[in-house]
């Protein structure tokens, strides 16, 4: 009996036959949306999932979109972001381009969108209303900090944050960020699992260290399947144009180290520096005591004292 893969974070039609009409049509349909995301300055992001994709806004999932076999798309949006009783009537605007289906759950509304209407459905005016509703909800600081890290570390030839909120069929616990990293452009990439915490988070007393160490061991155990998954995840994102504004010279395909000891873990601590510093002093001792194979970095926002403006000529 053939076992299902542990992790598949890509669109299957693109993997099964990259030259198929279906994959080419998906790339054509997504091109305007990808352009909008790339021009957003990091406010929006696009992540491939198991045969669907998420559109994120400031770290919050704005929509889940599934390509259907008949060429249409199904988009699921949380009812809180639609606010059907509010005067902006965003729900009415979306229904012009997508037929609303029966609810799949009590919290989401689902729309069926024709191939040529996908860009109209997710046009900038509609996204502005949806994102305004998301901001009004005031979601957590760590989610925002996570998005800042993605935005401030765009894809390059040595470092790519390839995925966020990563879970698989063997472990439903979610890794905050999964990156591909390498010291030299001549070497394969390796996996770097990143957990994001604010300095005052009580998990810094030790819980997050044990959690991250478990993630590292888990990916090492299923390293070959993770490599297969993220080589395809990368290839599809490259074909869709998601890396182009940041590093257009990235290759069409990449190599990822399959050795177990290549997987690394990193905790990035942000927020108020003094609180983070105090927590880290104790946490470093905990790492030594437990012999966790992980690293920690503290993000600091220091003001430069050279009095030089970023707007000055070099």
DSSP-derived pairing of the beta strands 295-298 and 264-270:
parallel
Cα angle vertex 35, ends 41, 250, to 5°? 80
At residue 88, the pLDDT reads 64
Q: Which residues contact 84 (CB under 8 A, 6 or more apart)?
A: 91
List the pLDDT tens digit at each of the 314 positions of the chain. Answer: 557 899 999 999 988 888 889 999 999 999 999 999 999 988 899 999 999 999 999 888 999 999 999 999 999 999 888 876 665 688 889 999 999 886 656 789 999 999 999 999 999 999 999 999 888 876 677 888 888 899 999 999 999 999 999 999 999 889 999 999 999 999 999 999 999 887 665 656 568 888 999 999 999 999 999 999 999 999 999 999 999 888 889 999 999 999 989 999 998 887 655 655 666 777 777 888 888 888 888 776 666 676 665 555 55
Nearest-angstrom CA–CA distance, 85 and 89 = 8
Q: What is the dihedral of CA 79, 84, 87, 91, to 10 degrees?
A: 90
Which of 258, 141, 124 shows the shortest CA–CA distance to 191?
Answer: 258
pLDDT at 275: 58
Q: Residues with Cβ < 8 Å from 288, sequence gap 6 or more?
A: none
pLDDT at 215: 96
Residue 116 near residue 133 (C-beta atoms within 8 A): no
Between CA 161 and CA 155 the distance in angstroms is: 7
Gyration radius (Cα) of the chain, Å: 21
The pLDDT, as a whole number, for residue 287 is 83
Check: CB of residue 65 under 8 Å from CB of residue 53: yes
- The pTM of this model reads 0.90
Task: Please name the residues in contact with 24: beta carbons below 8 A apart, sequence gap of 6 or more.
Answer: none
- According to DSSP, the β-strands at 53-57 and 44-48 are antiparallel
Query: Domains in the chain, ordered, with CATH?
Result: 12-140 (3.90.1150), 143-298 (no CATH)
User: Which ranges constitute the DSSP H helices of the chain?
Assistant: 12-16, 21-38, 79-82, 90-94, 118-121, 124-137, 141-152, 207-221, 223-240, 273-290
Spatial contact of 228 and 258, defined as CB atoms under 8 Å apart: no
Distance, CA of 189 to CA of 180 (rounded, Å): 6
The secondary structure element, H or E, covering residue 110 is strand 108-113
């Amino acid at each position: 009996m053939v076992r299902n893969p542990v992790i598949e974070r890509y669109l299957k039609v693109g993997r099964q036959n990259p030259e198929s009409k279906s994959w080419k049509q998906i790339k054509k349909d997504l091109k305007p949306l990808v352009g909008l995301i790339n021009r957003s300055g990091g406010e929006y992001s696009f992540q491939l999932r198991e045969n669907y994709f998420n559109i994120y806004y400031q770290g919050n999932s704005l929509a889940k979109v599934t390509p259907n076999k008949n060429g249409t798309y199904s988009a699921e949006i949380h009812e809180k972001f639609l606010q059907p009783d509010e005067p902006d009537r965003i729900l009415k605007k979306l229904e012009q381009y997508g037929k609303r289906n029966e609810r799949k759950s009590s919290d989401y509304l689902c729309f069926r969108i024709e191939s040529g209407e996908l860009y109209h459905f997710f046009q900038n005016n509609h996204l502005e209303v949806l994102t305004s509703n998301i901001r009004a909800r005031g979601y957590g600081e760590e989610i925002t900090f996570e998005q800042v890290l993605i935005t401030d570390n765009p894809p390059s030839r040595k470092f790519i944050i390839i995925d966020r909120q990563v879970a698989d069929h063997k472990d439903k616990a979610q890794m905050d960020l999964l990156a591909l990293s390498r010291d030299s452009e001549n070497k394969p990439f390796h996996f770097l699992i990143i957990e994001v915490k604010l300095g005052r988070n009580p998990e810094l007393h030790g819980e997050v260290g044990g959690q991250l160490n478990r993630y590292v061991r888990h990916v090492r155990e299923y390293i070959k399947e993770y490599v297969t998954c993220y080589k395809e995840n990368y290839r599809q994102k490259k074909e869709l144009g998601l890396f182009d504004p940041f590093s257009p010279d990235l290759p069409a395909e990449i190599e990822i180290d399959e050795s177990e000891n290549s997987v690394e873990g990193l905790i990035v601590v942000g927020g108020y520096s003094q609180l983070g510093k105090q927590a880290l002093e104790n946490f470093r001792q905990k790492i030594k005591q437990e012999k966790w194979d992980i690293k920690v970095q503290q993000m600091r926002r220091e003001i430069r004292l050279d009095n030089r403006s970023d707007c000055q000529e070099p």
